[in-house]
């Protein structure tokens, strides 16, 4: 379980078939084999870890199912990755409840300045658009975000300078595919309403 508060930006250092090696500033001694780390929102299991430049280089395996639902198939050496360690009991819940189970891909359709902030417009797939509501929560590339406005399958989000500098959002481009996880509660409410009809 995660909160969508990014704690480090890692970098893909190697791609070996279905495995990726990601370097980070995390303490290698604090990462156990089998630990869960959200990598751009996708909950992945650590299969190997070693010390690297004072931080950690950890290996994660990626299944075909994961590739089909996420943008991980586009990762290459040098790709920047939002990272979050799994929550421990008693940790501050700074974002919202995030499972690390990606629902699908959205695309960045526009980016423009909004004061000191950057406004991003995303286009969601039709089957996920009903879970996206103004002032609701969504996790995009692992980041807990508040939705500003919704128009059909498009929705807008403001990124403050801190978020832009502490995550991969400061280097994103129009047209990029991003991992989205809709709000857990919205998903269950929709499912309950479906059964009541």
CATH of the domain at 58: 2.40.30.20
Helices marked H in 38-157: 64-69, 126-129
Which residue range forms the structural domain that includes residue 188? 104-196
- Which two three-digit tokens encode residue 56? 């950690």
Distance CA 73, CA 86 (A): 23
DSSP bridge pairs for 114: 117
Q: What is the pLDDT of residues 101-142, one digit of tens each?
A: 999 999 999 999 999 999 999 999 999 999 999 999 999 999
Answer yes or no: is 94 within a domain.
Answer: no
For residue 63, is it within any domain?
A: yes
**DSSP 3-state of 70:** coil
Within a domain: residue 99?
no
**Alpha carbon distance 159, 45 (integer Å):** 29
H or E segment and range at residue 182: strand 177-182
Q: What is the pLDDT of residue 117?
A: 96
pLDDT tens digits along 79-88: 999 999 998 8
The 10 Å Cβ neighbour count of residue 84 is 26
Same-domain status, 76 and 121:
no
3-state secondary structure of 161: helix
- Distance of alpha carbon 154 from alpha carbon 129, whole angstroms: 8
Whether the Cβ atoms of residue 167 and residue 143 lie closer than 8 Å to each other:
yes
**What pairs with residue 112 in β-bridges?**
119
Q: What is the pLDDT of residue 197?
A: 66
pTM > 0.75? yes
Claim to verify: residue 74 and residue 124 sit in the same structural domain: no
Residue ranges of the chain with pLDDT lower than 50? none
């Amino acid at each position: 379980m995660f909160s969508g508060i990014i704690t480090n930006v890692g970098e893909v250092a190697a791609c070996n078939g279905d495995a990726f090696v990601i370097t980070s500033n995390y303490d290698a001694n604090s990462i156990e084999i089998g630990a869960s780390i959200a990598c751009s929102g996708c909950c992945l299991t650590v299969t190997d870890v070693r010390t690297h430049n004072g931080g950690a280089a950890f290996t994660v395996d990626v299944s075909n199912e994961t590739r089909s639902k996420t943008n991980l198939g586009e990762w290459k050496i040098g790709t920047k990755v939002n990272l979050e360690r799994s929550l421990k009991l008693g940790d501050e819940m700074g974002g919202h409840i995030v499972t690390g189970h990606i629902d699908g891909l959205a695309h960045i359709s526009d980016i423009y300045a909004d004061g000191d902030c950057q406004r991003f417009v995303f286009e969601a797939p039709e089957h996920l658009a009903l879970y996206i509501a103004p002032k609701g929560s969504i996790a995009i590339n692992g980041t807990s975000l508040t939705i500003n406005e919704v128009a059909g399958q498009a929705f807008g989000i403001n990124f403050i300078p801190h978020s832009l500098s502490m995550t991969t959002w400061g280097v994103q481009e129009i047209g990029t595919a991003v991992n989205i996880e809709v709000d857990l509660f919205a998903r269950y409410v929709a499912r309950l309403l479906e059964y009541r009809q």
